[in-house]
Chain A
Amino acid sequence: MTEAILQRIANGDGQAVQDCLNKYGGLVWSIARKMLRNSDDAEDAVQEIFVDIWKNAERFDAEKSSETTFIAMIARRRLIDKIRYSTRRISADSLDDVLLEPFTRADKAMQTSIEAEEAAKAMRALKPEQQQVLRLSIVQGMSHQEISNATGMPLGTVKTHVRRGLLHVREVLGLGGSHYAQEVSV
């Protein structure tokens, strides 16, 4: 089995840094562009994300997640911080696009990781409004309040959809969780 790029980075392999950029640069950039919707902000964020990746490479555990998912987690942490502490707001025009965008286009399914494929399948089993809320919050980086304003759903309903949807997908992915979660996910 070949050594993961992140493990190679943790072991001080300089070439692995470039391999990491080759393999994940476009992915991180695309996640940032999707969540921030502004190229300048995305450029700053992507630089910071890769610094985070270099620093956290040794924490990667292939038993717990794929390398792709681990990198996406690091990217999301940084992007969530950026969004929360910025004045980014979605324009009315782009909001229409965001609301109308399907979760995965049938002819454009990405195979970025096994977990992503499984998550996509699990998402399709959710109610349409749950899918929409999860997509707007996770993929588009919208706050609960922004989603409520955009969709007209009560804030409490948005929270419930996020909670139940996320727990359902986690269960399908087999990513663990306690008995407490099972009691509230139905």
Chain B
Amino acid sequence: MTEEQRELFFDLLAKKAVYGLDETDDNQLAEFDRGLVDAEFCSLEATAAAIGLAGISEIEPLPEHLRAQILKNAPFVEGIREDGQAKIYTSDDVFGDKRSSWFGWLGWATAAAACVALGVNIWFTRIQPTEQVKNQNPPEAQQSLTERQKHDQLLTAGSAIKANWAAGNVKEIAAVTGDIIWSDEKQTGYMLFRGLPVNDAATCYQLWIFDKNQKKETPIDGGVFRVTSDGEIVVPITAKLKANSPYLFAITIEKDGGVVVSERQKIAALAKVETQSS
């Protein structure tokens, strides 16, 4: 192959990988050895896919109606509900109730995986209590709602902030998605996760709330929880202090029961607050 031929060969392959070929180009490429074309193209196509992934700076949630439609079009999936809705999970599921059997209907309103800075330098140290959060007694109607419904209700309440989960520094937990909703006014919030792995018996997850009124070194303990099965989960936030302007939320993996001071070695997920819902 002459240099000119090589340039043409790779021009055509590169074009095919990034944009596809028209008939003329396709015919030109067909003049080259088929085995060589296939071998080179496969790796160039994978390269283009990797570049494409690297260029996605933000993952938008899949619209609920689209998800339902896709599930409907998956004929080999048994038992798809007609409405395509997800099973709603409660905090009992999350906190290890053995009754829970919650694979299945996973996704109606999907969440967004936000983009969070790589290598966020978070130093979790001792918490300095300033003000205890008062226990709120929800009205009866509120009590009858599932955690997922409370999450959605808070999201639409108007005074809540929302942030999307993205991966932290644990390689095995790269695909975590979902969101966290928090209301300063109500001092309540919910975390929705997908892709957060099941804890082993010795560990739990712990939420840390970084608040503008709190030093970075002393994030607010947002409570601990355990995941016991795959799927979508909604976890209520149990902040130990009053949070007024959170700007970052972090989930660490800790020994079962949680810690007062985190070694911040295993950050399972991060959610950076970017917009205020209205």
Contacts and interface: CB of A to CB of B under 8 A. Distances in A.
Interface size class for chain B? 35 or more
Interface in A67-93: 68-70, 72-73, 76-77, 80-81, 83-84
Contacts of A3: none
Interface in A121-164: 123, 134-135, 137-139, 141-144, 159-160, 162-163
Interface string B34-59: 00100110011111111111111111
B53 A46 contact: no
B49 A30 contact: no
Contacts, number: 249
Given A26-B112, A138-B18, A115 B53 contact: yes
Nearest to B5: A180
Contact of B47 (A14, A119, A137, A160): A119
A27 B52 CA distance: 11
Interface residues of A, number: 81
A17 interface: yes
A144 B262 CA distance: 51
Contact of A84 (B11, B17, B19, B78): B19
Contact of A107 (B1, B76, B115, B195): B115
B10 interface: yes
A31 B56 contact: yes
B118 interface: yes
The list of the 4 closest CB pairs from A to B, nearest first, reads A139-B55, A108-B115, A25-B62, A116-B53
